[in-house]
Every structure is written in C-alpha cells, then in structure tokens.
Chains A and B, each alone.
Chain A
Amino acid sequence: MNFFSILWEQNEINEITLQPECFPDLNLDQVIQAITARKQEYNLKPLYYTPPNDLLTIRYRQEIARDLNNEVLIDALKAFAEQMVRVRRYLALSEKLDHHYHQAGWFLEAALVYGKALVDLGEGISAISLCSKGLLAFREILQRYLHSQAFETFFAEAKKVKEALQRVRYCIILQNGTVRVRRYEGEVDYSVEVEKTFAKFKQGAVKDYHSDLSRRSGMNHVEAQILDFVARLYPEEFAALDRFYRHQQNFVDETIARFDREIQFYLAYLDFVAEIQRKGLNFCVPEVVTDKNISACQTFDLALAHTLRFEKQEIVPNDFYLRDSERVIIITGPNQGGKTTFARMFGQLHYLAKLGLPVPGREARLFLCDQIFTHFERQEDLRNLSGKLQDDLERIRHILDHATSNSILVLNEVFSSTTFEDAVFLSKEIMRKISHLDACCVWVTFLDELSTFNEKTVSMVSTVKPDNAVERTYKIIRQPADGLAYAFSLAEKHRLTYRQIVDRIQP
C-alpha cells in the first residue's frame, strides 16, 4: 500500500518528543494532558508537540477537522478505534501465552476483530459526503484494501475456523482428583430441574447467589490438559486453526495501523472540545494568515474552560483584534480580573491554529507564527534569590535573541519585583526592542505608561462591575488604561469620595 498520512500531505516533520517551552506558561501542558489522558496507548503527545510550519499542511488538517464535524463519521471512526484496541490487546495476549491452542485461539480472536473493524469502517464511511483531501484519499485506500484478494481470503478463513470451534461441545466429569473429558451427549441442564421442583415457592425477588467467578484470561495446567483432550476429540477443527495461525502472521496492515493512531490526533481533541461545547462555548476553524491583521471573537482560555467544564461557574469569552500597525496588546486593570487568562488564551489560540485544529471562539483570524515565546513570573528560586531580576532579564534576553518578526510573545508581569522606577525604565527598554522586532505581543503589566508607548501598542483593561468595584466581570476590553477608574469606585464603596467626605463631615 502507498504511503499515506492523515496528518501530513507532504512536508512531514519528524515527531518531536519534547514538550515546547511555552507549554507550562500557557497551560497547554494541562490541555494536552487532558486530551491524551484516556488515549495513552497511542502515544499522541508528540503529534501535538510537532506543529507544521506551512499553510498547506494546516489547511490539509483544517479540511479534515471540518469533515469530522459529523457525528456519523465520528461514531464510525470511534468504533473502529475501539476494535483496533482490542486487536492489539488480543495479539499481545496471544504472544504471552504458553499453550499452543490457547495462543492460536487468541490470535484468531484478534484476526476476527481486525477484519470486522475494517469492514465496519468501510461500510460506515462509504455513504458520508467528504470534502477533505485526506479523508477522501483514505476512503479510497481502504476500499481497495477491503476488496483485495489477500484481505478477503484472510477474513473468510478466520470466520470459518471460528464457526467450527464454536460448534464444539464437550463434557467434563470431575471426581476427586480425576478429570474425564468426552463429547457432550445431550444430558439435561440440572439446575433447570432443580428450579422447576422449587418453582412453586417463588416469592418475588431474592438474592442472586451466582458467584462472580470471572477472572483474567488464562489457563491453568488442568484447563490446558482439558483443551488438549478437546482437540483430540475434535481433530479437524483444531487442524484448521493451526493452518490459519501459521499462514496469517502479521495481518495488520501498516497504513491502517498508522491511520488508527493519527486519526486520534483529531478525535481526542474533538472529544475534549465537545465537553466544553456543552457549556455553550463556541469553537471555530480559524483563518490562518501571514499578515498581522488578526482578530478573534468570543474566545476563551481552553485550560480554564476544561477545568470548569462541569462547574456552574461561567466562562466569560473575550474579543480582540490588531489592525494596521498595531502589534502589542498592553493589558492593565485590577488583579484577579482575567488578565493572565487573556494572555494565555492569546498564546493558546496561535499554537492550536498552527496545529491545524479548531480554536476557542466564534470566529478567528490568526497569524501563522514561527514560534511562541512566553515569560511568566516564576516562583522565587531560593538558590538564586538575589538574582531574580537578573534571571528575568536573562530570560527576556534569550527570547529577544531568538524571536523573529514572525514570533508571538506573551509577557506576564515581568518586573513586578523591582522598584517602580526600575520597572518603568526596564519595561520601556524591552518595549522598544519588541517594537523594533515588529512581533505580535501580549503584555500584562501594572504599568499604565506602557499602554501608550507608540502607535504599535493597544491598551486593553480588565473591568469591574460599575456598581460594585469588588466584583470582576472577567471582560477585557479595549479602552485606555485608567488606574483611577478602579480606584474611584473603590473609594466610593468606602464612602471616601469628595462628595461623600464633604457630606459626612458636617461644617
């Protein structure tokens, strides 16, 4: 079969197994952890660590993601995935077993599930209207495979062998330490007789005394000995099994196996998204562009939305845009007002868009960046207490050394532990460099001064309720930084405005 990947049309990049540096700051580590938690066996993380760099691949993936907005298709793919899990489990089991017919038995089970998985998938997706190049190509490949001589013979043989084995019935007679095995000869079910005798006493529901004798698959030497005898009683059935086992080793097709893993890149993400959508939040396939007129509407922090997905607490979506020469969003306003969340969200959006996946929001136009750099305040490191400022500056230096005009920068409370004057001075210096770099940037700061730095800066502010300054709205809106507005409302609450004080202090 030809080379085929549902992730790469061409320009395939080798999988990166190391988490991108920006992940912890953007809480993308939590997001990817949540997405992959129930899918450990696919080793999906590297797929999320390896974003493509070209629009072609991003669009290849976006088309597939759009096609997957179809429950029938999703169901068919999920059913396929579940069956493939069983195939792998049975094959692994088979390899570990000692007894030959036991081993061959589980091998046969794996073959049966595999055959059925493919036939089901072929039927399940045959009538679905697809638009994406990727899924159309896969369907084509699958149909060809299903109608190949090799597959048809394989599956028919597996079913025949199994049917014969299913007809086998035998009797075991246990008496002290002796086990006798022979064919079943029509003896009646004794418990039915006992039930019949006592049926007249039935008084409604009673306890179920069936013992739970289920246990892991496996055989002890007594059962193995019995199976040998059964094979002697039914030699033809077991000879057929032997032939199948010898001739059909390695029946799992490589392209199918690859598809089985790679399609999980989409399915796992969409599962994760679906839980959040139930809260009434929107996702969209973003327009990914190479100019810097970017915008997003009704977007939100994916990690936060995931954490609160079962809570009553509302997620407040936010909007932003940059146009013309605007590059840097300066966010100021009261603490706990959603500033950091907004900054994370900005980084997340660009990373997810680059992966070719749908992003939080009603609509979005996002920049195809080369890298995302973050600088979030770190926990004080005791080993290096005096050097915190230096450490901060070194990290920023590192960022500025590596960032290009196509990078995205997310800075959060950079110099909060220095003096005010120092912070203003250092921040302005950094700002000058970023401005020169012409990179897109979100910067959360307590310094109002930065918001009017030059024509590239845009001021956004976290807001409070007009009538109650203590209550946050979690809305971040485009408006001039005005520390006073907040201070004023607090003063009013404490009856310390001019009018209030004049009124309270009688002449």
Chain B
Amino acid sequence: MRVFLLYPDRDFNLKGELPPQTEALVKDLELDIVLDTMAQGDSFLRTVSRQALMSSLEDPQVIRYRQMILQDCLNNPDTVRELYQIPVQALITKQKQWLGIFSLYPSSILSSAVELLEMFVGLLRKMRRIVDEHGEHFHSAGFQRFFNMIRQELDEAYFVEIESHLKELRFRDGVLISAELGMGNEGQNYVLRKPKRAKGNWKERVFSKRSPVYSFSIPPRDDHGAKAIGELRDRGINSVANAVAQSADHIDSFLNVLRVELGFYVACLNLAERLAEIGQPICFPDPYPATTRVHTFRGLYDVCLALTVNHPVVGNELNGDGKDLVMITGANQGGKSTFLRSIGVAQLMMQCGMFVGAESFAANCCNGLFTHYKREEDATMKSGKFDEELGRMSEIVNWLKPNALVLFNESFAATNEHEGSEIARQIVKALIDRRIKVFFVTHMYELAHRFYEPGLTNALFLRAERQEDGQRTFKLREGKPLPTSFGQDVFQKVFQQR
C-alpha cells in the first residue's frame, strides 16, 4: 500500500537533499512569508512545505498530477482535513500512551508491537469509513488511485484476519517451536510454528502416526530454569516478533507518508484560503518542458508582498516566449525587485505543483533556480563586496546546468559601472550561450544597452514605468533601456516628505 499523492510512482522524501542554493533562494525571494502562511504555526507543515517548494519538479506531467489533486483539495477542503487527522491522531496517541517498540527482548517487542497494531487498526477502519462516505467527490487520478486502494486492501475480511492474528499472538495455548540440532547438538533454527487444529476425519486422526511426547516441569522456585525457558521462548518468537514489529513499523511509516503528503495539500489550502481573504486571484500555471522558452502571464503579482501588506497588489504581464534573457531597467522603487521576486516565487510554486499568484501563467520549467542578489556589506570583513559577489557567482556556476534559471538583482554593481558592466556582460553572455535563462534587474545602463543594441531576438527589455509627474505605477513595460534610473525622483520624494 503506497500513498503516492505527490508522485504517481514514488514517495516524497521529506529528508531529501535540497539544492545548494536553497538558503539564498529563501532569503532573496522572502519565502519565509509564504511558508509561514502555509504552515499556520504548525512546524511540521512548514517543514513539508519548505521541502516541497524547494525540491522542484521538472516534469510537467508530474506537476499536472499534483495540480489535479490540489484542485480536488480546493473542492473538498473539509474531507481532506479530516483524512489528514488520521495520521495526526496516530502520532498523538503514540505520544500520549507511550506506544512504541523500545525493548531489546523479543517478548516485549512482540507485546508492544501488538498494542501498536491494535491502535493502527482502529484508525485504518476510520479511514475506510471516510473514503466510503466522501470518495465519490474526488476526481483526480491521484486520489482515485489512493481511494481505490483503500477500498480494495482494507476490507472487512482483512480487518478480521488481522484481529485474529493479534489474538493468536497472545499464545494462550503455549508457544510451539520447532528446532534442529546444530553444532555440538545444540538446538538451532528455532522457528515458531502455528499449531495444527484438530481437524481431519476420524480415520486420519486414528491412523496418523503421532510422536511420543516427553515433558517436564521446572519446580516453582527454579529461577534459572524459568530464565532458561524464557530465553528459549525468546529464541522461538524472535522472528515473529520481528515480523510483527516490522509490520507495525510499515503501517506507521505508511501513516507518516500520508501525513507528509496530505500535509502538503493542507498547507496549500491554508495559503489559498489566505489569498482568497485578501482578494487576490490564483490560477494553475501551464508548465512547459525545461528545454523550451516560455514565460507568458497576466496579472502576476508578488505573493509575498500581498501577504505582507494584506491587500491586493499590482500585477504584471509579460509575453516572454522564446526569450533567454529578460533585462529589467528603469526607475528606482518602480517595482523591479518585486517583479523579479514574483518571477522566482511563481517558478517555485509552479514546479512544486501549486497554484500561482496570477490571472494566468505559463512558463517552461527550469533545471535549477538561482538568485544572485546584491548583498549587504560582508560583516566578517574577509573580502571586499565585489570580491564577495564574484565568489558567490563562481559558486553558482559550479552548480549550473543548461536550462537553469538565474535571477540577478543589481549584481556586480559594487564597482564602477564600466567594469561592472563588462564583467556582468561576459557572465550573462556565457550563461545564455550555455542555454541558461536569465532575468537581470540592473540600473547599469551600459550593461543593458550593450545587450539591447544588437537587437537580439531572444532578449526582452522591460522598464519600470514612470509617469510624467514622476509617479510610479509599479508596472513594467517593454522598452529600451534609458540612461538614468530617476534617482532624483526618489531623492526628491524622500526630501519632500520631510
């Protein structure tokens, strides 16, 4: 029995290694805001959300598999939350009643495992009931497979079978063990046997050659004897204790997997509900293979910003199909960084199967998302700022593969513009030629201009919009780079407020 709600053919690995740039991404894209909203104070949900968000899928089919399941969840939030409570309940009960297999001796391993199984069986019965009552409202391939599995595997006959084992394992009629003579005539290969019930017709019973039975009892005070019998019993039930304990573990891990995978969808529900409260639209994005170049959307807004300011924020549109480079120039505080962040966040959300904050959104998957943002001055004073920037870039290059996506925000500006532009130009040019997609926010006119001039068909230039009176709309429009970033405006605005 496998859960398979995050992948059609495998479990989600909550402890999987995350890409090396994870921390930079969380920081640069301010993902903590998104993750906090998904978790709603539940640290487990936060861990699951982070892991899912950061371990991007690259196969559009798997992305769609999750999208369909998430759509079911959006349609049936209560049932999904009720299902999620099953593994949560198992965990709480285990903790409350100190259930678990902690011993080293087969006898106590067996009895704790039996206790644990009894608790699990109750919860599995409950799960079966929920599926029976609400299953019909789910249409995604993922949920249908999961529910059908529950229906088939966990029928009444099966529950009866389990319960009869749990009864048998209390050994009311004694423990029957077979053995052989090992080296030095010492007993070995102790195997627990199931006693034959006195069945068969009278002829079989009369004519079957039964073995003589020899027996002895140890005197009541013989502690050594009692211990010896205990040891023998342990040897006999060693394997069955292992089998039962492992079964308990298997069910436990089945429930754990369920908790992780449903947890992701519950966290998505949390975010969706929050965005609905704010009044922001969501949509399921249209993922394309990583080898293609697609980036077309309408009303893409920065989810982090919306969650922070708690009211609807400005969206942008883009027709970026076929582009390898998107260079964004223009007014300070014109929404360039916000725009870049919305690109990054949407990419991650899309590639983990979530909805995105937009009216419509289509993009190619990327083979690794990276951010290279201008950083605060290095506090350790170990290296100069420009040196530090290049160091980080070099690390990114270590990890880069074709079809990755790199977001630059005011990078390489920690030196004079001419030098910075030339270095940045060489880097960007190299990346593009290596089939890496680049979004570059910069106020370095020279850099933007040098890419603009040749009229590249695979490059797109956006400008932060500025109205005649200096007012910003926070909208980005296509347009050729202009030689100033309107710093005066900002200056004036700041000083006028005084």
A: residues with CB less than 8 A from B are: 90, 93-94, 101-102, 104-106, 108-109, 165-166, 168-195, 197-198, 200-204, 206-211, 213, 217, 219-223, 225-227, 229-230, 232-233
Contacts and interface: CB of A to CB of B under 8 A. Distances in A.
Contacts of B194: 187-190, 193
Contact of B181 (A166, A179, A188, A222): A166
Contacts of B395: none
Nearest to B164: A197
Interface in B166-190: 169, 173-181, 183-187
A233 B253 contact: no
A233 B235 CA distance: 22
Interface residues of B, number: 72
Interface string B208-236: 00111111111010101110110111111
A235 to B, nearest CB: 11
Contact of A179 (B165, B216, B257): B216
Interface stretch (B47-55, B101-109, B293-301): B101-109
A213 B236 CA distance: 11
A106 B239 contact: no
Nearest to B231: A213
Contacts of B29: none
A185 B176 contact: no
A217 B187 CA distance: 11
A217 B186 contact: yes
B377 interface: no
B415 to A, nearest CB: 45
Nearest to A226: B187
B360 interface: no
B229 to A, nearest CB: 6
B249 A207 contact: yes
A206 B214 contact: no
A219 B411 CA distance: 77
Contacts of A186: 196
Nearest to B246: A206
Contacts of A183: 211
Contact of B250 (A168, A202, A219): A202
21 contacts: A90-B184, A101-B185, A104-B185, A106-B183, A109-B183, A166-B180, A169-B180, A171-B176, A173-B174, A175-B175, A180-B215, A185-B210, A187-B178, A189-B194, A190-B193, A190-B240, A192-B243, A200-B153, A203-B253, A207-B246, A221-B228
B296 to A, nearest CB: 41
Nearest to B240: A191
Given A174-B233, A187-B195, A225-B216, A169 B178 contact: yes
Nearest to A215: B231
B306 interface: no
A176 B229 CA distance: 9
B192 interface: yes
A93 B178 contact: no
Contacts of B173: 175
B359 to A, nearest CB: 41
B180 A168 contact: yes
B238 interface: yes
B177 A174 contact: yes
Nearest to A185: B211
Contacts of B225: 177, 220-222
B196 A185 contact: yes
B245 A209 contact: yes
Interface in B394-422: none
B247 interface: yes
Contacts of B251: 198, 201
B133 to A, nearest CB: 23
Contacts, number: 211
A205 to B, nearest CB: 10
A335 B6 CA distance: 73
Interface string B56-100: 000000000000000000000000000000000000000000000
B239 A210 contact: yes
A185 B238 CA distance: 21
Contacts of A174: 174-175, 177, 229, 232-233, 236
A225 B219 CA distance: 14
A420 to B, nearest CB: 59
A194 B240 contact: yes
B242 A209 contact: yes
Nearest to B245: A209
A112 to B, nearest CB: 9
A165 B181 contact: yes
Nearest to B195: A187
Given A171-B178, A198-B251, A213-B231, A181 B215 contact: yes
B1 interface: yes
A215 to B, nearest CB: 9
B191 interface: yes
A200 B247 CA distance: 9
A184 B178 contact: yes
Contact of A197 (B161, B184, B211, B217): B161
Nearest to A183: B211
Kindly name the residue among A175, A188, A208, A232 whose own CB sees the greatest number of chain B CB atoms within 10 A: A175
Contact of A206 (B185, B191, B222, B253): B253
A209 B220 contact: no
Given A170-B179, A172-B177, A229-B214, A194 B232 contact: no
Kindly name the residue among A202, A217, A233 whose own CB sees the greatest number of chain B CB atoms within 10 A: A202
A201 B193 contact: no
A477 B476 CA distance: 84
A191 B192 contact: yes
B162 interface: yes
Closest 9 CB pairs of A and B: A175-B174, A198-B247, A105-B185, A183-B211, A187-B193, A222-B228, A105-B184, A201-B250, A209-B245
Given A222-B218, A229-B214, A203 B232 contact: no
B254 interface: yes
B487 to A, nearest CB: 58
Contact of A181 (B165, B213, B241): B213
A93 to B, nearest CB: 7
Interface in B96-125: 101, 104-106, 109, 113
B222 to A, nearest CB: 8
Nearest to B225: A222
Nearest to A237: B181
Contacts of A192: 243
B104 to A, nearest CB: 6
Contacts of A210: 238-239, 242
A222 B229 contact: yes
Nearest to B247: A198
